[in-house]
Amino acid sequence: MMIDMYGWNQDLEDSFKTHYENGLIPARILVEHRGLYKVITEHGELDGINSGKLYYENDKESLPTVGDWVAVTPIDGEDKVVIQHVLPRKSKFVRKIAGTTTEGQVVAANFDYVFIVASLNNNFNINRLERYLTTAWESGAEPVIILSKADLCDNTDERLIEVENIAFGVSTYAISSLEGIGISEIKKYFQEGKTSVVLGSSGVGKSTLINTLCGEEILKVNEAREGDDRGRHTTTHRQLIILEDGGMVIDTPGMRELGLWSEGEEGNALSDTFTDIDELAKKCRFRDCTHSNEPGCAVLEAIECGELERERLDNFNKLKRELRFIEGKKNARVRLEEKKKMKAMFKKYRR
């Protein structure tokens, strides 16, 4: 089937049996833009819309996104399908919706690698990289760090060491898409049947990288602004692109604000990102040590002797507070929704 080249496999086929019995066919979301979709099916590329039931009975996190496998109903006589179900996701990248709303937004799903792109120009920021790493570990896929625009950096080796010191066990590459530096090293990730998602701030070179991997200009590219090296938003929607070698890549718009979101235990993703602090904390005298002013704190001792940067601990505490705040708001929202349901049920019972 045509969808085989987009990652359809025997496990997915086996899990789809009930949907086949109900007259549905499999599809993968290629493009999502304001609730409208492009999907790939055995009949080719078609437009897609959500069924009313799918839209109204699910929260935003459960609605289809780029990379999702879905069960669809073809509309007779039209190049269009209705999306009825979203298949279970093996991985997903979720961020908090910008603003005061406490809801998560799934940016991409069903990928094997998370490419975090950070540019080696004046916009380089270690704290931002730690934030992206925390979200990448939360996704369930393997993070890979790409330091772009190496041709514009005079101290690439120093930057690499700086990143490797905070990204333990994460493969890191310095590249230049324009000059071809490091491109051959990262092509091994784009194997047939494998999907990668590319994340990063505006202007870091995500679109240029994808164009280089494609061998042609598939995505529009804008120059970074003069003066601050900050880019303009080039990509305006999410899309899945298939490469010549059979690998797939999901392009995402540049994010000026990456709000953390966690669905597991609060410290899991942070522990993966800050493994050095996590290991030091095990040596603290008190199990509930906050690493602020407690006696026998191994983390503070590491800072005093120069083994750990104070800025790294400060960013760890900042991200931890943010996750706790989001978790508290989520729990409050759940309690409010349950209360509304109970009131509705009681009102219906009294009638």
State mean pLDDT over 337-347: 63
Token reading at 309: 């940067």
Distance CA 39, CA 26 (A): 10
CA distances from 300 to 267, 304, 307 (A): 19, 6, 10
78 three-class SS: coil
Is 211:177 a contact under the CB 8 Å cutoff?
yes
8-state DSSP, 262: -
Distance CA 236, CA 33 (A): 8
What is the Rg, in whole angstroms, of the alpha carbon atoms belonging to the chain? 22
Band of the pLDDT at 271, cuts 50, 70, 90?
A: confident
Is 214:247 a contact under the CB 8 Å cutoff?
no
169 three-class SS: coil
Distance CA 84, CA 61 (A): 15
Span 277-305, pLDDT tens digits: 989 999 999 988 999 989 999 999 999 99
- Whole-number pLDDT of residue 84: 97
Distance CA 91, CA 7 (A): 14
The b/e string for 300-329 (b: 16+ C-beta within 10 A; e otherwise) is bebbeeeebeeebbebbeebbebbeebbee
Q: Partners of 197 in the beta sheet?
A: 114, 250
- Whole-number pLDDT of residue 96: 66
- The number of beta carbons lying within 10 Å of the beta carbon of residue 241 is 18
**Which one of 124-128, 143-147, 210-214, 308-312 scores highest in mean pLDDT?**
143-147
Reported as type and span, the H/E element at residue 278 is helix 275-281
- Whole-number pLDDT of residue 99: 55
Span 302-338, pLDDT tens digits: 999 999 999 999 988 888 887 776 666 555 555 565 6
Closest by CA to 239, choosing from 210, 205, 208, is: 210
- Whole-number pLDDT of residue 23: 94
Distance CA 18, CA 15 (A): 8
Is 113:197 a contact under the CB 8 Å cutoff?
yes
- Whole-number pLDDT of residue 231: 45
Distance CA 80, CA 351 (A): 43
Token reading at 222: 């804008």
Distance CA 300, CA 96 (A): 31
Is 146:159 a contact under the CB 8 Å cutoff?
no
Residue with token string 């069924």: 51
- Whole-number pLDDT of residue 233: 44
**Distance from chain centroid for Cα 37:** 19
Span 62-120, pLDDT tens digits: 899 999 999 999 998 889 999 999 999 999 988 766 555 556 778 899 999 999 999 99
Band of the pLDDT at 138, cuts 50, 70, 90?
A: confident
Band of the pLDDT at 227, cuts 50, 70, 90?
A: very low
Q: Note the pTM of the prediction, 2 decimals.
A: 0.77
State mean pLDDT over 29-45: 92
